[in-house]
Amino acid sequence: MSFSITGLDPAAFTPLFGLSDRALADRGIVRVTATAKPGFPCRITLEDAEPGETLLLLNYESHTADTPYRSACAIYVRESAREAPAWHDAVPPVMRGRPLALRLFDDAGMLVGADLALDGDPTGKIEAALAREDVAHIDVHNAAHGCFAARVNRG
């Protein structure tokens, strides 16, 4: 089953990048510096930031459907991120080597299933989930911390 994964649109975050730490704090956002790799996964580039890079840590609503499954969590975005790359029938670097939780949603935004990819390669589980007719998309989260990783769409 063909699928695509794209990072978050940087336009949603660009207005935040030039703000002072105080202005960010007023919005519940924290500027951080990556201290290790892996450890600071950017949700725009879908890669881990390099040590020394600056990121914003903020709350992001990943599932906006008007259902009980509406969801928000903390994510990192690199301040240097200017475009969101896309992967087709492949998983981005930030999703490799981490245990992942897959949340399967229908067209109405209702949860219709879930799975775990604990071996660091969710490709087979993604393909199996998208083979189901009732699955419209998959939201991938880090299994340990629970933060949103990326959305998987059909081909």
Say if residues 47 and 39 touch (Cβ distance below 8 Å). Answer: no
Mean pLDDT over 41-52 rounds to 97
Q: How far apart are CA 45 and CA 76, in angstroms?
A: 10
Q: Is the pLDDT of residue 61 over 90?
A: yes
Instruction: Tell me the average pLDDT across 58-85.
Output: 96
What pLDDT shows up at residue 6? Answer: 96
Instruction: Evaluate whether 71 touches 96 at the Cβ level (below 8 Å).
Output: no
- C-alpha angle 8/12/15, rounded to 5°? 135
Q: Is the pLDDT of residue 56 over 90?
A: yes
pLDDT higher than 90, residue 139: yes
Q: Give the pLDDT score at 120.
A: 79
Digit-coded pLDDT (tens) for 79-138: 999 999 999 999 999 999 999 999 999 999 999 999 999 987 999 999 999 999 999 999
H, E, C per residue of 28-45: CCEEEECCCCCCCEECCC
CB 14 within 8 A of CB 26: no
**The pLDDT value given to residue 57:** 98
To the nearest whole percent, how much of the chain has pLDDT over 90? 94
